[in-house]
Chains A and B, each alone.
Chain A
C-alpha cells in the first residue's frame, strides 16, 4: 500500500520540460539548450583523449603489442575494414568519418551517466550528423559516376528516396536516444519519493546499462553501417545498355 501511494504521488510535470527544454541560454546571439553545452564537453573530451593517446600509446608503438595498442588497433581496423569492403576507393575518407561519427554518438549518449543531458537528444545534433552523411553520399556519387548519375533521377521516386535519407537518419537517432532519456528521467522521478535503503542508489545503476549503454553502442554502429551502405549504393556504376545487345546476339546464335 505504501508503494502504490508513493507511485501515485510522483509528480511528472517536470518531465515535459526535460523532453523539450524551455530553459535556453543565450550566448553570442545563439539560443542554446543544455544539449549543446554537453556536446561541446564531449568534443573537448574526445579531443583530449585522442591527444593523450597520441602522445603516450602511439609513441611507444611496438611489434609485440600492449593491451592498449591491441584495443586501439582493433577499434580503428573495425571501421577501416568495413569501409574498405563497402566503399573501395573512398575508404580513406569514409573510415575516419564513420569512426568519428560513431565516437561522437557513443560518447554523446554516455555523458548521460554523469547527469548531463545527452548531446544527441537534441534534434540539431542529429540533423547535423545526418546532413554530413547526405553530403558524403552525393559528393561521392557524383564524383564516381559524373553525369551518368542523373539517369538515376529519371525515375522521380528516386528524388524522394534520396531526400528521405537524412530525415529518417535524423529521427532514428533522435527518437531512440530521446526514448532512453525519457525512461531514465521517469525512473529518477519515480524513485525520488522512495527511501528504502539503497534502492535509489541501486535501481538507476542497474537500469542505466539497459536503457542507455546498449542504445549508445547499437545506434553508433547502425549510423556508421548505414552511412557506408548508402555510399556504397551511390557509387555503384549503373548497368550499361550493352547487355541487351549481348542477349540479342546470343539469341541469334541460338536460333
Chain B
C-alpha cells in the first residue's frame, strides 16, 4: 500500500503535467456531443423546411464556432502543459 502511494506520488511529480494535458484533452468530449446535437438538429430543420437552408447554415456555423471554442480552450491548456510546464 505504502509502495503504491509512493509510486503514485512519484508519478505525479515527474509526469503530472503530461497527465494534466491528457485530462484537458477531455474537453473534446463535450464539444463533440454539442456539435453532434447541433448538426443533427440542423439536418432535421433542413428536411422539414428545405427553402430555409441558407439561414440554417449560417446559424449552424455560428453555433459550431461557439461549441468548438471550449474544445480549443482544452487544446490550449494541454499545449501549455506539454511545452511550457514540462
Residues of chain A whose beta carbon lies under 8 Å from any beta carbon of chain B = 15-16, 19-20, 168, 171-172, 174-176, 178-179, 182, 218, 221-222, 225-226, 229
Contacts and interface: CB of A to CB of B under 8 A. Distances in A.
B69 A168 contact: yes
A222 B69 CA distance: 12
Contacts of A222: 61-62, 65
Contact of B69 (A19, A171, A229): A171
B42 interface: no
Contact of B75 (A168, A179, A225, A226): A179
Given A16-B83, A19-B83, A20-B84, A171 B73 contact: yes
9 contacts: A16-B82, A172-B68, A172-B69, A175-B75, A179-B72, A179-B75, A179-B79, A221-B61, A225-B62
Interface residues of B, number: 14
Given A20-B84, A225-B62, A229-B62, 19 more contacts: A15-B83, A16-B82, A16-B83, A168-B69, A171-B69, A171-B73, A172-B72, A176-B68, A178-B79, A179-B72, A179-B75, A179-B79, A182-B79, A218-B61, A221-B61, A222-B62, A225-B58, A226-B62, A226-B65
A232 B82 CA distance: 39
A233 to B, nearest CB: 12
B84 A171 contact: no
B76 to A, nearest CB: 5
Contacts, number: 40
* 9 closest residue pairs by CB, A with B: A175-B72, A16-B83, A222-B65, A172-B69, A175-B76, A19-B83, A175-B75, A179-B75, A168-B69
Interface string B42-63: 0000000000000000100110
B31 to A, nearest CB: 12
A10 to B, nearest CB: 16
A178 B80 CA distance: 12
Nearest to B84: A20
Contact of B72 (A176, A225, A229): A176
Interface centre among A15, A174, A179, by most B CB within 10 Å? A179
A251 to B, nearest CB: 36
Nearest to A182: B79
A229 B65 CA distance: 13
A171 B76 contact: yes
A225 B58 CA distance: 8
Given A179-B72, A179-B75, A225-B58, A172 B65 contact: yes
A216 B84 CA distance: 26
A22 to B, nearest CB: 11
A152 to B, nearest CB: 21
Contacts of A15: 83
A223 B73 CA distance: 17
